[in-house]
Amino acid sequence: MKPLLSARGLTKRFGARVACRDAAFDLWPGEVLGIVGESGSGKTTLLNCLAGRLTPEAGSVTYDSAAYGAVDVHDLSEARRRLLSRTEWGFVNQDAREGLRMGVSAGANIGERLMAVGARHYGDIRRTASDWLSRVEIERDRLDDRPTTYSGGMRQRLQIARNLVSEPRLVFMDEPTGGLDVSVQARILDLLRSLVGSLHLSAVLVTHDLGVARLLTHRLMVMQGGAVVEDGLTDQVLDDPQHAYTQMLVASILPV
């Protein structure tokens, strides 16, 4: 088996500040990798480098594409990278407004990826959109409503549907439950967990919330000051943290 995504020596600077230093890992098919750390630890920078949204100063990201075979994400032409990112990949933003078109209906939001790759049957697109709406537990009769009329949790579920409709193999998630009420968070976590399992998705998830990491991820990378200080199986890292920083995180956030 080949890893789906491999990072080697990824380094990204902003001016003199090193936001991410020498990050390396392999992500295997069906695996969910968590990146945890405090804000400013470099986890979102790393995620954006992985997804091709930021160009690193050094290092490489290799993705095993279904369409093109193994490709270096940062060597790809912009055209091909954008195509990958709306077919084989998904990206769930913390703020759903950034990942949705707020001015058009939920159906159009879900249908966009299908239309972008050539779907031209209105009825079929609508049916698929409606199915996805119900899969993310939104009433089908909200299909023609705009996301502006949705609650925060519904918007996040709509964003997930908009990403998953193209049946991506790899999804990047940046604090997908951040800024939501605890009860709403729980529902989205349940939904994500079942979708990841049933669709056999691989995912890279950035979160500062170790509870979210425990629930969703198989493996964890702990980042501090731009560097990965510890990594391993999620349960292992959380139950028996080795690095002092991880111990501090676990102690402060998980009063078990």
CA angle, 246 then 252 then 256, to 5°: 100
Pick the piece of the chain touching other proteins (CB under 8 A) from 123-131, 175-183, 191-199, 227-235: 123-131
Q: Should residue 57 be labelled a site residue for other proteins when binding is judged by CB under 8 A? A: no
Count of chain residues binding other proteins (CB under 8 A): 27
Helices (H), the chain: 43-50, 78-87, 96-99, 106-116, 122-135, 152-164, 182-199, 210-216, 234-239, 244-253
**116 in contact with other proteins (CB under 8 A):** yes
Q: Nearest distance from residue 16's CB to other proteins, in Å?
A: 4
> Nearest distance from residue 122's CB to other proteins, in Å?
4
53 in contact with other proteins (CB under 8 A): no
- Position 248 contacts other proteins (CB under 8 A): no
**Per CB under 8 A, which region of 98-106, 179-187, 212-220, 233-241 contacts other proteins?**
98-106
Query: Applying CB under 8 A, which part among 66-74, 106-114, 154-162, 171-179 lies near other proteins?
Result: 106-114
Dihedral of CA atoms 155, 160, 166, 167 in degrees, nearest 10, equals -160
The Cα–Cα gap between 229 and 73 comes to 25
Q: Is 199 in the site for other proteins (CB under 8 A)?
A: no
Rounded to 5 degrees, φ, ψ at 184 are -65, -40
Of 50-58, 78-86, 189-197, 201-209, the segment contacting other proteins by CB under 8 A is 78-86
Q: How far apart are CA 256 and CA 134, in angstroms?
A: 35
